[in-house]
Structure 1
């Protein structure tokens, strides 16, 4: 009898142990919902709340997690910015300073990226089912990066038969400056005609499914990228007489180094002076705000679908943008600069084990998205990542004092944001320096002010030690300075720096 009881007891303990182990095996790692919004600056409600902008779903996401109000991109241009996020490497490491075909980012010809593991691939290699739709890399994604791909609608339409306001060239010279899709107005008739609406439908359908593995799902919105077209109802949210315009100083560029002027020479884009004289400035801002509210609506559809799904309690959300966007600041309507309004963009995280409704004002980098997602998901760190995880900053406020952000625009042009200061150094050694406590609009270049000599020296230490040549497959023909620099650097290196379009 005793022997029988003993055997039963051992059996029960063994079964219990097996059951316990079985439960451990069944515990799934968190899913990841990876949301990119094109050309979204910090005007949204949780950050700047510009001109009483209406973004209830950005507000909702912010309440669900952590908002970084001072996040900066690694390049103020979509192609190199997205390549940096997806590779975990800086542009100065890869030489990807311009637009690079998705399938050419990783190749034998680039020693930095020839064997890199893209962010979605790392999740797949660690047991995740990966899916993606829309603009995630520069176009959509390299071939076979996602196990399940919804692709991407070509361009940034839909487009009307004729442009409403802007012809795309402005005062630019055809063949030299390129043509932009910049335009603004109410179009099309309803939301269902927008490619982003179809992308969200695709995501909603997949959120309703069950998966044997945890999933990584990427969603890339095309708006707020120009043309600033969305249905009329989004414009109706912003009466023109209530619209604010960003701060602007007509002689703002008088103290900018020559290379900074070359980079900012964008005659194909509307100038602020033209927008003022033509009466279009408020209309451009109105159109931008309308597009943000449209994206907010589509974001709400995603959040609703997630919250009503079986994945609601076990999904990490990250929302980011590839750069900021100037709406008249520094004389134009564009990204394309190393100034604050071009480099700063929203970054929000939500999910299990993260604080709710928290805001962090320390400067951080979009380069941190890759390592942060790995740590939040319980995956091993990827040793090639050059960014730092933000998990302990979000959970324990660690690293706030040491935080900084580095942005690069073409080879050897960099900006450092730290401690409320912005330091810019161009390839010829010329500099800009701004004290945001006194000059939040960056109107007064203090680089030659002896008062800031020690601070400049401190910030210089954060400049990258490596500045790779242009990747052969990376180009930016939209702007003459970049064409000239690549030719000069990768071709005849002793060729003197040519001044192109430096007129103010």
Structure 2
């Protein structure tokens, strides 16, 4: 820097952006990134930078905290970073505490909306600014085809409505206006080149789809990779080259689109008073496959998904340079601390990259990328992958850049690479437990290889395994997470040492049914995912259990604790227990019985069949259709905007209905009690019959009389 002051820091993040220099001319068409190119001409470009996990949320949680995924405990997009980590654990918090004015706009942490106020206010020095997605679907556009349809808006008046345009505008406005005495830290987060590959049409028209050429190597028969096929399966058949050309054109156009906006921010910085004292870091959360290995996606341990662009601009530099030594995405945190003259991050396996920006050559380093219990490393010219089933792959990137030929059998580097991976994984918080003696450090996550030995005592962080935990394992203090990858149908009795059970999100395995019996200490069963994977049958314990699902059908039987069940988008059967239960339905068909305890039941947007239990219950209607049977207990039924049918059984207890404006009533179970009676009590209507009494709050008697006449 040209001044002795601490530098300003500008962090720019793209979404799903591959290491563009590697693919620039790989497909017969040059990727056009003129703005990134001119920045690189004055900066340090790290051509072997790797994310620590090829998944959006976990990767961002990692590089924004400086912690590896097995230190954060975040492995999929269904774990919210600030439910597991505190804002104070982000390195940007340390900047704010050290006197930096901290500012943000766009996607930096996972998600496209600002963080909740308690998080935002802890990390940033101004009110939140929200970027909205646009233009609307009705905006004039052209359909260019390919994955995501490749829509291109044709009216330039709509250009300013794109998420990335808004994010760039916010950053530009900040750079022009900021005149505070404190150094600033500014974040600018962009959406592209993330699907659905929507841009102004002129960016699509930069590329002729017919000019793209598929590499001949892709068409050769590739060796089987069974674990990879099951864990992150192919999603893009290469037989349709026309679809491939359209899709890669869409991705390239999005890259050029975000490049244009990065150029706008760069120009604003260079025109501002901050140009000579602002460090600029440009990166992405992970890479992306372009159709190789029949994949157009992230979620793998190969170079295409693990590699990321990483550019560091130090205004003291005279000219650009390229660093080919492997570096880690989470090195960003330590690098920022170094430039900001702050102490290094504790417990972070990252390293400051400032020495390399200054021209130093690093030592012989291996850099890892993890996917749950599997890991890969880049070391020298090799990529080595050790999958959780014990299979391994070794690729020579100089002779096989697309990693199509496994050279591990009898290769002289195999043993060394295997040792390096295990040592590196341990340094980043994951201990690989295989056929050897398994004695992990207590704070490490343990990856138990298929058919491998489980640790004698559970680690304090968590474990990732194919087999269920040992039901006879003694109790250990603390709250531990068990990530299960069932390869076959199984039944699990959770020992007291394990309090959280997770099914890794969106992993494809062969099991169809899973039965879980919770322990009595209170368990968290989390089966969030983006598609249906397995049918669940869960028996709660006597503690306070929390059960969450998304697309997996579930049958749950609750016991005496105070329990929470969040059913997802697949069918559910839930039987309440004898404690206090909160049961929330979403889409699909759900059957809920309130049990013997108290229950708060929230209907969903599908079709719900609700039977109240013997306690004090509240039932909330929703926009779906609901059949509610009042079969026992005292109940408050809140009718929602959807259709609700009310079936009144004989309970001998007073009931309350709110929001009733007409609809089907069933009192056939009262037939032996004699005639019913209707009366008014203020604004309420009262329905009585023998020992039964129902108060319809704020309902006109005439509305109730008409509903009863319809069933006579």
TM-score w.r.t. the length of structure 1 is: 0.79
The answer to whether the 8 A contact 2:66-2:345 is kept is: no
Match 1:297 to one of 233, 256, 260: 260
What does 1:74-473 align with in structure 2 at a 5 Å threshold? 74-100=52-78, 104-107=80-83, 110=84, 113=85, 117-139=89-111, 140-141=114-115, 142-144=119-121, 145-153=123-131, 157-158=134-135, 160=137, 164=143, 182-187=148-153, 189-190=155-156, 191-209=159-177, 210-246=179-215, 249-250=218-219, 253-256=222-225, 258-265=226-233, 269=235, 271-273=236-238, 275-276=240-241, 279-354=242-317, 356-399=319-362, 401-410=363-372, 412-460=373-421, 461-464=423-426, 465=431, 466-467=444-445, 468-469=462-463
SS of the residue corresponding to residue 104 of structure 2 reads: strand
Q: Deviations over 1:409-449 (max 9, x none)?
A: 12x21011001101111122111111112211100112223
Number of residue pairs the alignment of both structures matches: 440
The answer to whether the 8 A contact 1:130-1:216 is kept is: yes
Which 5+ residue runs of structure 1 have no aligned equivalent? 1-25, 169-181, 494-499
CA 492–122 in structure 1, closer or farther in 2 if over 3 Å, else same: closer
The answer to whether the 8 A contact 1:200-1:302 is kept is: yes
Q: Distance in 2 between matches of 1:43 and 1:96?
A: 27
CA 350–247 in structure 1, closer or farther in 2 if over 3 Å, else same: farther
The Cα shift of 1:198 comes to 1.2
Which 5+ residue runs of structure 2 have no aligned equivalent? 432-443, 446-461, 465-480, 482-499, 526-532, 535-712
CA 335–329 in structure 1, closer or farther in 2 if over 3 Å, else same: same
* Structure 2 residue 26 is the aligned partner of structure 1 residue 57: no
Q: Deviations over 1:383-412 (max 9, x none)?
A: 23221111112213231x4122100112x2
Name whichever structure is richer in strand by fraction.
2
Q: Distance in 1 between matches of 2:87 and 2:170?
A: 31
Q: Deviations over 1:355-402 (max 9, x none)?
A: 631001111110100101111222222223221111112213231x41
The Cα shift of 1:242 comes to 2.5
TM-score w.r.t. the length of structure 2 is: 0.57
The answer to whether the 8 A contact 2:41-2:321 is kept is: yes
Q: Deviations over 1:58-117 (max 9, x none)?
A: 01110121000111100111110000011111112222100155xx4245xx5xx45852
Q: Which has the larger Rg?
A: 2
CA 115–462 in structure 1, closer or farther in 2 if over 3 Å, else same: same
CA 441–485 in structure 1, closer or farther in 2 if over 3 Å, else same: farther
The answer to whether the 8 A contact 2:381-2:398 is kept is: yes
The Cα shift of 1:333 comes to 0.7
Higher relative contact order (Cα pairs below 8 Å, separated by 6+ residues): 1
Q: Distance in 1 between matches of 2:501 and 2:97?
A: 27
Name whichever structure is richer in helix by fraction.
1
